A and B are shown apart, each in its own frame.
Chain A
């Protein structure tokens, strides 16, 4: 069964560094999402992406964040200058046309 994959599974970075989190959505899906989950807290929506552009973003998704679909398979989340409070699990999700979003296993980002 096809699934969403994410790399790396764990990323440790120093404050102020740039990180790129990678996702490979399910191949025939059209809508792509990033969520984050700070330890012990809710899963929070960051951004949705459709037809090669951002369709919606939350207040969390400020100028430090960007997304890209550089080729036909990858979907990336870049954080330009990481802060301690960016430490969280980051989940990628994708869907085709129905409501159900398929989530990846997540990337744990630790900012020191």
Chain B
């Protein structure tokens, strides 16, 4: 079954630094999405990249997709303490989302 698997599992950086998280999956996808989850809260949709796209930007977020390698990366530039959260990639096959285990990002002031 298709899976999003993120790495690293945890990332600790200082404010102002960039954070890069990677995601790999196994089968063909319709699109790939990144979500954020603050501790104990719901999932917030960040960005979606379609299977025919290679790169997408949204504010401080940059997502890349390499379908030949079945991988994606999420870059958060100029990180802030408020970016501290878990980040999940999710792949959309026919109609359902399959989530990875997530990367826990800690941004220290």
User: A residues engaging B (CB < 8 A)?
Assistant: 4, 33, 35, 41-45, 48, 55-56, 58, 91, 93, 99-106, 108
Contacts A/B (CB < 8 Å), 22 sampled: A35-B99, A41-B101, A42-B88, A42-B101, A43-B43, A43-B90, A45-B96, A48-B96, A91-B42, A99-B30, A99-B31, A99-B48, A100-B45, A100-B48, A101-B97, A102-B45, A103-B35, A103-B42, A103-B43, A103-B44, A105-B41, A106-B41
Closest 10 CB pairs of A and B: A43-B99, A103-B43, A105-B42, A103-B42, A45-B96, A42-B99, A42-B101, A100-B45, A106-B42, A104-B42
The reply to whether the CB of B92 lies closer than 8 angstroms to some CB of chain A is yes
Interface residues of B in 29-45 (CB under 8 A from A): 30-31, 33, 35, 40-45
* B41–A56 touching, CB < 8 Å: no
Told that A58-B96, A93-B43, A101-B45 touch, could you supply 13 new A-B pairs with CB distance under 8 A? A4-B42, A33-B97, A35-B99, A42-B99, A42-B102, A44-B99, A56-B95, A91-B43, A99-B30, A102-B45, A103-B35, A103-B42, A106-B41
Q: How far is the CA of A58 from the CA of B102 in the complex (A)?
A: 21
The reply to whether the CB of B20 lies closer than 8 angstroms to some CB of chain A is no
User: B residues engaging A (CB < 8 A)?
Assistant: 30-31, 33, 35, 40-45, 48, 88, 90, 92, 94-102
With A91-B42, A105-B41, A106-B41: A99-B101 Cβ-Cβ less than 8 Å? no
